[in-house]
Each structure stands twice: as structure tokens, then as C-alpha cells.
């Protein structure tokens, strides 16, 4: 059994965020998948993004990685708006921010060998083929993969192996930020631990930041320093991971916490079944249908993000009086 | 009710023969709730599909028999197989893929009642709506007219559960019923299962690689690795004190995250054709020389608790 230790906060370099989203919105049809979300990823830190399916996690990640154009708002890479990047610095951004998707089998071209897929990813680098291959071999060694997989095709590898190849592909370009979109949810329980400790190990060896997307608050807490909780397109709680895990303040976070850690005995009794078709008033709090401490004002107007203490925010009317405590 | 008597099943492909089950012995009693855990490729689904004989064409049963009460399922006639199948329900992982996209779901549930329980058209229609209400839907009449594409993953899973319990079968097989769902929806579905299991007398064979699901729902557990059952017994006992190195590793990877650690079992499961003495050998950190020579026997820890290992954990001092 191996144990992995997270990089200590002391070693973190706080020099302004590397990747930052400011009041991002993305409209699909008539509905906002992401509604006024601001998010920052600092150097050498792991940021968790938690929420259920349909909450806009993946859309947000795609916007931050430059794969989707936001309807409004700005993405800043090292302080510069993506829209204002020159052709050269756009390439820099593309190298610096990588994304790893949930299902590795869908993330690779089934007709390419692994070697070709990896070499393909390195087209942005000016180096001769020998150097590139050397780099691939080094990284394969680092993620404990055998060289023999290079000539195989994606379908010949297991899910865990292929997810490692996906990490290699992301790391080949020496990125500063990697967005990990549910990297373990398609994998077996015993493999999940391998992948998570590999991620921590890779981070210790080089100065990269992660945006770790998951629906499991427990995993988010275990791997990240700060967590953002998303619900229906908005951030409902954000702040230090330990603090959130010890005392979740927003009722939705509390529900996620209960689901991730508790036993099913007595789980759903206090909360109504989450029915996605439940109709909601446009103006009120988005969580009101499932909330167990709703008041009249929750139906009328949506709460803003209240700052509870330094860098800890909650979107709930009930937390308003507790500001500054 | 169901008895696996040293069953071995191989998958035959154009290139190789892949052993899926090796000498599996398992007994499911009336009303038992048995959880089957293991990684993908360990043979869990093959075992489950063998009961109603739904195995794909390239699966070959090498030896053994599967008894449903006194009938040998593997050699049953089409007629008696049909009778047996009426007593078995299966829930698959991808709920949306299991529903007919062209029929409203109320009709699909009613069809189960008509065919399996022999109810009339009107009775089954009413009962279908009752069932939907029982599963926590607030507006069952309206829902019964909806088509599968209008449902979310969690709702489809609940509709499938309604279909499974509709005819009150003796055995329900649930293959990864919560994988792919959100944590909160998962908890709701599991909670629903718990309620239903206390109401119905059906036996449950629950397949999952998530050990938490099994801890919460099943009194008995069987852990599979590489086509073999490596440990089986009472859930509470095994969870608190696993004896097989693989079960222990699985427990640790489950509980480790709560301590902010990521323990795991080194290596990956191998699917090799060559005969190994013990399937877990390449990944085992407790192996001895004996393991390389002879396949391990089943060691009985206590009544109904068996481990297939030469050196069950916690017993080294006694040996």
C-alpha cells in the first residue's frame, strides 16, 4: 500500500492566479448553463469543483480552457484576457492549460496508436522526433506505464491505463494548469486510489495546478486546497477545503457532504426527492425546492454570495447574519 | 433457490479463450440479499447473466451446473426456462438504454405485469401507476405517459426498479444500479432500495464495484477476483475484518479517502490465458512460495465465511 501526501500549503507560491474566470456566463438556448461565475486558480494549487450533473461544471471547465466562448465575462490567463491574446501567446495558453476528460476511451482517436496520439499532441513543440520520443518515454516511466503500450490502440488498454496515457498527453506540453473532468468516475474503486495518488505525485514533482471536477465532495476534499460548489450554474459555496468539509454552510453542500460520507439510513427522509422537473420561480434561490431551511424571502430573491470570512463565500440568506464571524 | 455448483465459463474469441468464471460455488437462499463486488472484468456480470441464461453466444459453459430449485438452468428446456425467467428480474447499469424509446413508460411497466403476472390490460395499467407512486414520483399519471428520453438518469433508474419489482419476482439481479449517477441521486436510489427490500420478500443479487452500496444493502457479500470468488460471508464481519488480501485492499481504498490518503492495490488486474495458481498473485503483497506452486484452497474462517487463500490475513500467527 502506498500513501500519497498532498503538497503542503507552505510550498505554495502565491503570486496571483494563473487562470481566472470573471463573471462568466454561458447561455445554451434560453437557459444559462453557467451564470455569473468567478473562479481563480493559483499557482501550484488544487482547486476542487463539485456539483451534480447538469450544474455546469464541465461547461465552466471548457470555458476556462478556451474550448468554449463565454456569452459574457472574461477568462484571464496570467492576468491577460483570452480575447486579447496575440497569436503567439494564444499558443502559449494552449500549451499552458490542458484538459483531461472523464471517459478516456472517448478522448483518444480509436484508429491511432498511442504513440501517434502522443506525438500528435506535441506538434506545438519545436523539437526533433528523437527528443520528443525521449520525453514520451520519460513520462510513461513516471506514470508507471510500460513502453509496449505505445504500439497499441486505445481499445487494447484498460480504463486506468488509458487515463494514465491521457495524463501523459496533457503533461507533454509542460502545462501550468490541468483541468481534470471527473478523471476517476469511470474507473474501479481500487484503480481510483492509484490515479489520485499519481496526480498528487505528479504535482509534487512539477509546479502545476489542478482544477479537479467531481461530484464527490469527499474526493474533492481529499485532493484539493480550495473547493467551489456549483449548483444550477452558480457557485453556492467557495472556500478552504478543510473548513468546508468540517462545517458545510450551504444546505446543498451539507447534502453533498451527507451523501458522500454518511450511510443511507435516514438519508432521503429529511430531504425531498430531487426532481429535475420541479418548477421553480425565476427570481428565487435556485436551491429552494430541496432546501430544508427555506424562508419566504428565499422564494422572492436570489441571495448573493456573502463573504463569511476571509475568502470564504456562501450563497444563502440564512448565512447573512453570520458575516464577519 | 439458486445454486452454483462449480461452474466454469469461458469466452471464446477468434484469437483466444478467456476464462470468465472458474469453479464458482455460490448459494442464494430465498430472501437473501447478496452483494457481489469486484473490479470490471472479474466475472461479476457473467455470473449474474448465467442465472437467467442470458449469456452471449460466445460464452461456453465448461463445467458445473446452475440449479434453480431442482431444475438445472443450463440444460432446461425453452418452456421451463421461460417459467424460471418469470421469477427473475434484472436491472442493468444504463437504465436509459434498457427502456424502449418508442413506448411510454407506463405501458412498458404494464407489459411486464401482463406478461409475467398475467394481469389484464386495465389492472396492469392501474398497477403501473401505483408502482410509480410507490417509487416516490409525485405525479405518476403524468409520468406514465412520458417517453424515456424525457427522463433523467435517476428517474430512469427508478422506472427500471418499478419494472423489476412489478411482478414480485423471487430474485432481483441489479447490475451496478447506481454507477454513473450523482452522489445525491445515488443515495436516493439506495434509500429507495432499502425501503423496497423491507417490503418485498424477493432475494437480491447486487453487483457493484462500490463496496459502500453493498455494505448498506446486503447482509451477505461475495468478493470476486479473476473469475473466482475469493471471499464470501456475512457483510458486517468481512467489512470489519477482511481476510483475503484483495478484499482488504478494496476496503482500504474505500476508507482511505476519508483520512485524506489514497491507498490502492498496486498493479492492474491481468487477463491472461495461462493458468495461474492464484489470480491475485501478481498484485499480492503477502504471497509466499507456496502460492507459486499450488492453487489456494478455500479456508473456512467461521460458519459461512470462506476465503480462498493460502495465508488469510489475521491467521498467520495461528499457522
Assembly ipTM: 0.78
What is the reported pLDDT for A268? 52
Contact flag B257-A218 (C-beta cutoff 8 Å): yes
pLDDT in tens, A260-303: 877 666 565 444 544 444 444 567 888 887 787 888 888 888 88
Whether pTM > 0.80 for this model: the answer is yes
CA distance between the termini of chain A = 42
Structure confidence at residue A9 as a pLDDT band (50, 70, 90): very low
Residue of B nearest to A252 (CA): B184
Query: CB of B69 within 8 Å of any CB in chain A?
Result: no
List % helix, strand, coil for chain A (3-state, nearest 5).
40, 20, 40
From chain A, pick out residues whose CB is under 8 angstroms from the CB of B264.
1-2, 190-194, 197
User: Among B200, B180, B178, B179, which residue's Cα sits nearest to residue B189?
Assistant: B178
What whole-number distance in Å separates Cα of residue B241 and Cα of residue B156? Answer: 37
Interface of B with A in 123-162 (CB under 8 A): 136, 138, 152-155
Q: Which span out of A69-78, A277-286, B32-41 was modeled with the highest average pLDDT? A: A69-78
Alpha-carbon gap: B195 to the closest alpha carbon of chain A (Å): 10
* Weakest mean pLDDT among A272-281, B27-36, B57-66, B217-226: A272-281
For cell 490475513, what's the residue?
B313
Structure confidence at residue A82 as a pLDDT band (50, 70, 90): very high
Q: Find the mean pLDDT for residues A124-153.
A: 90
* Weakest mean pLDDT among A131-140, A261-270, B186-195, B299-308: A261-270
Q: Find the mean pLDDT for residues A305-316.
A: 88
| Sequence-separated (6 or more) residues with CB below 8 Å from residue A27 | A33, A71
Residue of B nearest to A161 (CA): B268
Average pLDDT of chain A to the nearest whole number? 85
What is the reported pLDDT for B188? 83
What whole-number distance in Å separates Cα of residue A183 and Cα of residue A196? Answer: 9
Which residue in B183, B242, B284 has the most chain A C-beta atoms within 10 A of its own C-beta, making it the best mutation to test that interface? Answer: B183
Alpha helix ranges (H) inside B95-182 = 95-98, 105-117, 121-134, 140-144, 153-166
What is the reported pLDDT for A7? 45
Q: Is the predicted pLDDT of residue A120 greater than 80, yes or no? A: yes
* Weakest mean pLDDT among A44-58, A193-207, B93-107, B301-315: B301-315
What is the reported pLDDT for A110? 94
Q: What percent of chain B has pLDDT over 70?
A: 95
Question: Are B180 and B93 spatial neighbours (Cβ–Cβ below 8 Å)?
Answer: yes
What is the reported pLDDT for A29? 87
- Among B187, B261, B268, whose Cβ lies nearest the Cβ of A267? B187
What whole-number distance in Å separates Cα of residue B282 and Cα of residue B278? Answer: 9
Q: Find the mean pLDDT for residues A119-132.
A: 87
Contact flag B262-A264 (C-beta cutoff 8 Å): no
Q: What is the DSSP string of B32-88?
A: -EEEEE--TTSSHHHHHHHTTT---TTEEEEEEEEEETTEEGGG--HHHHHHHHTTE
Alpha-carbon gap: A261 to the closest alpha carbon of chain B (Å): 8
What is the reported pLDDT for A15? 63
From chain B, pick out residues whose CB is under 8 angstroms from the CB of A189.
39, 209-211, 250, 253-254
What is the reported pLDDT for B112? 93
Question: Are B170 and B202 spatial neighbours (Cβ–Cβ below 8 Å)?
Answer: yes
**How many other C-beta atoms can be found within 10 angstroms of the C-beta atom of residue A105?**
14
**How many other C-beta atoms can be found within 10 angstroms of the C-beta atom of residue A283?**
9
What is the reported pLDDT for A113? 95
Domains and CATH numbers, chain B: 2-218 (3.40.50.300), 228-319 (no CATH)
Q: Find the mean pLDDT for residues A29-42.
A: 90
- Among B153, B184, B261, whose Cβ lies nearest the Cβ of A255? B184
What phi and psi, each to the nearest 5 degrees, are found at residue A117? -60, -40
What is the reported pLDDT for A8? 42
Contact flag A264-B187 (C-beta cutoff 8 Å): yes
Structure confidence at residue B271 as a pLDDT band (50, 70, 90): low
Question: Are B24 and B40 spatial neighbours (Cβ–Cβ below 8 Å)?
Answer: no
Contact flag A189-B254 (C-beta cutoff 8 Å): yes
pLDDT in tens, B135-161: 888 889 999 999 999 988 888 988 999
Q: Is the predicted pLDDT of residue B226 greater than 80, yes or no? A: yes
pLDDT in tens, B122-137: 999 999 999 999 888 8
From chain A, pick out residues whose CB is under 8 angstroms from the CB of B260.
6, 221-222
pLDDT in tens, A202-242: 998 888 999 999 988 989 999 999 999 999 899 999 999 99
Contact flag A2-B260 (C-beta cutoff 8 Å): no
What whole-number distance in Å separates Cα of residue B167 and Cα of residue B200? Answer: 11
pLDDT: is B317 or B201 the higher one? B201
Angle CA A126–A132–A135, to nearest 5? 125
Q: Is the predicted pLDDT of residue A68 greater than 60, yes or no? A: yes
Residue of B nearest to A156 (CA): B271
Contact flag A194-B264 (C-beta cutoff 8 Å): yes
Its sign, for the CA torsion B212, B218, B223, B227, is: negative
Residue of B nearest to A158 (CA): B268
Which residue in B93, B145, B257 has the most chain A C-beta atoms within 10 A of its own C-beta, making it the best mutation to test that interface? Answer: B257
Q: Find the mean pLDDT for residues B108-123.
A: 92
Amino acid at each position: 500500500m502506498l500513501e500519497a501526501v498532498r503538497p503542503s500549503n507552505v510550498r505554495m507560491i502565491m503570486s496571483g492566479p494563473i487562470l481566472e474566470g470573471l463573471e462568466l456566463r454561458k447561455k445554451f438556448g434560453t437557459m444559462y448553463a453557467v451564470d455569473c461565475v468567478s473562479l481563480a486558480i493559483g499557482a501550484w494549487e488544487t482547486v476542487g469543483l463539485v456539483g451534480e450533473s447538469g450544474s455546469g461544471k464541465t461547461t465552466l471547465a471548457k470555458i476556462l480552457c478556451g474550448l468554449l466562448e463565454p456569452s459574457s465575462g472574461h477568462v484571464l490567463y496570467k492576468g491577460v484576457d483570452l480575447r486579447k491574446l496575440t497569436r503567439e501567446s494564444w499558443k502559449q495558453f494552449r500549451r499552458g492549460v490542458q484538459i483531461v476528460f472523464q471517459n478516456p476511451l472517448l478522448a483518444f482517436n480509436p484508429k491511432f496508436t498511442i504513440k501517434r496520439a502522443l506525438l500528435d499532441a506535441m506538434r506545438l513543440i519545436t523539437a526533433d522526433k528523437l527528443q520528443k520520443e525521449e520525453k514520451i518515454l520519460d513520462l510513461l516511466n513516471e506514470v508507471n506505464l510500460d513502453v509496449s503500450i505505445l504500439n497499441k490502440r486505445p481499445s487494447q488498454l484498460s480504463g486506468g491505463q488509458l487515463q494514465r496515457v491521457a495524463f501523459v498527453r496533457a503533461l507533454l506540453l509542460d502545462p501550468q494548469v490541468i483541468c481534470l473532468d471527473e478523471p476517476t468516475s469511470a474507473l474501479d474503486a481500487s484503480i481510483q486510489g492509484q490515479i489520485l495518488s499519481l496526480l498528487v505525485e505528479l504535482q509534487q514533482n512539477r509546479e502545476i495546478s489542478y482544477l479537479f471536477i467531481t461530484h464527490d465532495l469527499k474526493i474533492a476534499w481529499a485532493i484539493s486546497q480550495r473547493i467551489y460548489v456549483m449548483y444550477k450554474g452558480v457557485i453556492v459555496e467557495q472556500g478552504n477545503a478543510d473548513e468546508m468539509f468540517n462545517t458545510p454552510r450551504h444546505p446543498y453542500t451539507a447534502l453533498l457532504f451527507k451523501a458522500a460520507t454518511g450511510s443511507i439510513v435516514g438519508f432521503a427522509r429529511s430531504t425531498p426527492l430531487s426532481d429535475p422537473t420541479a418548477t421553480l420561480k425565476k427570481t428565487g434561490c435556485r436551491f429552494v425546492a430541496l432546501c430544508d431551511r427555506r424562508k419566504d424571502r428565499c422564494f422572492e430573491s436570489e441571495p448573493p454570495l456573502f463573504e463569511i470570512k476571509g475568502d470564504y463565500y456562501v450563497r444563502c440568506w440564512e448565512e447573512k447574519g453570520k458575516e464577519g464571524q | 433457490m439458486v445454486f452454483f455448483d462449480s461452474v466454469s465459463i469461458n469466452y471464446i474469441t477468434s484469437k483466444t479463450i478467456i476464462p470468465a468464471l472458474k469453479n464458482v460455488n455460490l448459494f442464494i437462499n430465498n430472501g437473501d440479499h447478496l452483494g457481489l463486488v469486484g473490479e470490471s472484468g472479474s466475472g461479476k456480470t457473467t455470473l449474474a447473466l448465467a442465472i437467467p441464461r442470458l449469456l452471449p453466444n460466445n460464452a461456453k459453459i465448461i463445467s458445473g451446473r446452475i440449479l434453480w430449485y431442482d431444475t438445472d438452468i443450463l440444460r432446461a428446456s425453452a418452456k421451463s426456462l421461460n417459467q424460471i425467467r418469470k421469477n427473475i428480474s434484472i436491472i442493468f447499469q444504463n437504465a436509459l438504454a434498457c427502456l424502449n424509446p418508442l413506448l411510454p413508460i407506463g405501458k412498458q411497466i404494464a407489459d411486464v405485469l401482463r406478461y409475467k403476472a398475467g394481469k389484464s390490460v386495465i389492472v396492469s395499467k392501474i398497477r403501473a401507476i401505483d408502482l410509480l407512486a410507490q417509487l416516490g414520483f409525485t405525479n405518476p399519471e403524468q409520468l406514465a405517459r412520458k417517453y424515456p428520453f424525457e427522463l433523467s438518469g435517476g428517474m430512469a433508474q427508478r422506472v427500471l426498479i418499478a419494472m423489476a419489482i412489478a411482478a414480485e419476482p423471487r430474485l432481483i439481479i441489479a447490475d451496478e444500479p447506481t454507477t454513473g449517477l450523482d452522489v445525491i441521486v445515488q443515495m436516493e436510489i439506495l434509500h429507495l432500495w432499502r425501503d423496497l427490500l423491507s417490503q418485498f420478500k424477493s432475494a437480491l443479487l447486487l453487483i457493484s464495484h462500490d463496496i459502500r452500496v453493498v455494505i448498506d444493502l446486503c447482509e451477505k457479500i461475495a468478493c470476486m477476483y479473476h473469475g473466482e470468488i475469493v471471499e464470501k460471508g456475512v457483510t458486517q464481519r468481512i467489512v470489519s475484518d477482511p481476510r483475503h488480501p484483495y478484499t482488504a485492499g478494496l476496503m482500504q481504498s474505500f476508507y482511505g479517502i476519508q483520512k485524506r490518503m489514497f491507498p490502492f492495490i498496486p498493479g492492474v488486474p491481468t487477463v491472461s490465458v495461462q493458468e495461474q495458481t492464484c489470480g491475485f498473485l501478481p498484485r499480492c503483497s503477502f504471497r509466499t512460495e507456496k502460492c507459486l506452486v499450488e492453487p489456494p484452497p478455500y479456508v473456512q474462517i467461521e460458519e459461512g465465511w470462506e476465503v480462498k487463500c493460502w495465508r488469510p490475513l489475521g491467521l498467520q500467527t495461528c499457522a
